[in-house]
Amino acid sequence: MPATKKRKPARGKPKSKPLRVADDQLKRAARIYKSLRKTYPDAKCALEHKNAFELLVSTILSAQCTDVRVNMVTPALFKKYPTPAKMAGAPQDDLEELVRTTGFFRNKAKSLKGASQLIMKDHAGDVPDGMDELTALPGVARKTANVVLGNAFGKNEGVVVDTHVARLTNRMGLTRARDPKKIELDLMPLFPRKNWALLSHLLIHHGRNLCPARKPKCDNCPIADDCPKVGVTSKGA
């Protein structure tokens, strides 16, 4: 009898369930969140968008690219192809030229066109608001889906883990993981679900302002007392 093949987990789902955490860790996480919320009251998604489709496109383009660069590219892109219907019918070479400066432009253009076509085919032209449906789109993995769900639909299905979030949460001792999905699993039980989307923005703002990869400004940090500063060897002014 042939061996049964193991099913690979869907790319929109973490491989295991979040673990239970100790009360002191929960209290420390709550203090960190409260301090960051007070420090960055205007924290929000840095990708400029007017609707779910624009955010989806911008997030796909943001892979290996800065939000600033994406925001420079998207006005011309959305002026020419403002809807899934328009982008689904766009010439591949034209899309490539429009997104060239974001890097990996051929793959990104292919993903934009493919995602738009599937939105038209399977979702009547509307960006889907479910994790499984979003991660079925070309170029959309869990991180991108979390961005769209949390910021366009107000749905907290998970925590967006980018390089800032990964670095800071390790430095804060909230996780020891390096893999984004494992980091997400460690963070989810530490913070109330309603705060998951905003948590990412707060950490990203903190990473850009006070806690960069090199020489974090620990002396000016609002969460210094709650941060073990894991891996910090030198501090900035």
Positions annotated as catalytic residues are: 143, 162
HSE-up (13 A, CA, CB side) for residue 42: 1
Rounded to an integer, what distance in angstroms lies between the CA atom of residue 142 and that of residue 9? Answer: 12
Query: Are 120 and 88 a contacting pair, CB within 8 Å?
Result: yes
What is d(CA 160, CA 46) in angstroms, rounded to the nearest whole number? 13
The three-state (H, E, C) secondary structure of 187-203, written as one string: HHHHCCHHHHHHHHHHH
**In angstroms, rounded to a whole number, what is the distance separating the alpha carbons of residues 215 and 213?**
7
**Residue 126 buriedness (CB in 10 A; 0-12 / 13-18 / 19+):** exposed
End-to-end CA distance of the chain: 67
b/e map 145-184, b = 16+ CB within 10 Å: bbbbbbbbbebbbbbbbeebbbbbbbbbebbebeebbbbb
